[in-house]
């Protein structure tokens, strides 16, 4: 039987649409491979990330236009040419145009996400989220990262977040693995252990009474 009860925590990082993520992975792989041939892998991905993180938030309607089937493929391509034509590497532009031609420009953020994952994977780097109850100091952060790198045996890209509900301690997440040393979880475990012990005690005494 299962001996502990998990605290009911709602996720803030629910996955995006997995259908889109699956398609994005294929495009991301193609883009990474294509840029590899031109020896500009990092640059292309950085440019795409720049579009998604810097340009698109400034013009919220842009993504809608990208995703809309009402805007024709030709219009999208000419838009890309006029806006980005002069500033981007040719491979970046080609990648965007290929996405536009296949009517997949709407999932650009997912493609970038997938491509970054792929780059991390290729470089043997892993992403880790550090969740703490209070803000960590710089030195503490670097110590935590160092410790984790030793544990997982590879470089990591850290993200730090604060959640006062932890009460204390730290939760580290690398991929799907969670290292949980938070006070909140410990308390829950302590509670369920106490309940279990009492139930056992009650049962034991009842059995003894019954047999007497």
CB of 176 to another protein, least distance (A): 5
Question: Counting contacts by CB under 8 A, is residue 159 touching another protein?
Answer: no
Written as six digits, the tokens of 16 are 């995006």
Q: Is 157 in the site for another protein (CB under 8 A)?
A: no
Cα–Cα dist 114/27, whole Å: 9
Which SS3 state, helix, strand or coil, does residue 193 take? Answer: helix
Region near another protein per CB under 8 A, out of 95-103, 137-145, 159-167, 184-192: 184-192
Question: Least separation, in Å, of the C-beta of 51 and another protein?
Answer: 25
Give the pairing type, strands 177-182 and 169-174: antiparallel
φ/ψ of 169, rounded to 5, equals: 75, -160
Residue 130: which residues within 8 A CB-CB, separation 6 or more?
A: 136, 141, 144, 158, 159, 160, 161, 170, 171, 172
Query: What are the C-alpha distances in Å from 73 to residues 24, 36, 44, 59, 93?
Result: 19, 27, 22, 20, 14
209 binds another protein (CB under 8 A): no
Query: Which of these segments, 30-38, 84-92, 119-127, 173-181, binds another protein (CB under 8 A)?
Result: 173-181
Residues near another protein (CB under 8 A), total: 36
Residues between 103 and 132 with contacts to another protein, criterion CB under 8 A: none
The rounded distance, in Å, linking the Cα atoms of 59 and 38 is 30
190 contributes a contact to another protein by CB under 8 A: yes
Q: Is 141 in the site for another protein (CB under 8 A)?
A: no
**Binder among 98, 176, 205, 208 for another protein (CB under 8 A):** 176
C-alpha to C-alpha distance for 22 and 67, rounded to whole angstroms: 17
Region label for 70, one of left (φ > 0), alpha (ψ between -120 and 50) or beta (otherwise): alpha
Taking CB under 8 A as the binding criterion, the range among 4-12, 47-55, 76-84, 101-109 that sits at the site for another protein is 4-12
Q: How far is the CB of 181 from another protein (least distance, A)?
A: 5
206 binds another protein (CB under 8 A): yes
Position 35 contacts another protein (CB under 8 A)? no
Of 40 and 136, CB closest to another protein = 136
Residues forming the site for another protein (CB under 8 A)? 1-2, 4-11, 14-15, 18, 21-22, 173, 175-181, 185-186, 189-190, 193-194, 197, 199-200, 203-204, 206-207
């Amino acid at each position: 039987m299962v001996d502990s009860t998990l605290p009911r925590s709602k996720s803030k990082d629910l996955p995006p649409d997995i259908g889109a993520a699956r398609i994005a992975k294929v495009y991301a792989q193609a883009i990474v491979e294509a840029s590899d041939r031109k020896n500009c892998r990092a640059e292309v991905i950085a440019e795409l990330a720049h579009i998604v993180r810097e340009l698109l938030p400034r013009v919220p309607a842009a993504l809608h236009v990208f995703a809309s089937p009402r805007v024709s493929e030709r219009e999208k391509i000419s838009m890309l040419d006029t806006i980005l034509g002069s500033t981007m590497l040719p491979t970046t532009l080609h990648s965007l145009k290929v996405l536009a031609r296949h009517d997949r420009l709407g999932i650009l953020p997912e493609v970038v996400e997938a491509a970054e994952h792929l780059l991390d994977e290729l470089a043997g780097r892993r992403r880790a989220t550090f969740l703490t109850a209070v803000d960590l100091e710089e030195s503490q952060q670097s110590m935590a990262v160092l410790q984790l790198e030793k544990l997982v045996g590879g470089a990591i890209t850290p993200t730090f977040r604060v959640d006062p509900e932890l009460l204390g301690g730290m939760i580290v997440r690398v991929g799907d693995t969670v290292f949980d040393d938070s006070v909140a979880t410990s308390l829950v475990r302590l509670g369920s252990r106490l309940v279990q012990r009492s139930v056992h005690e009650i049962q034991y005494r009842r059995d003894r009474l019954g047999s007497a």
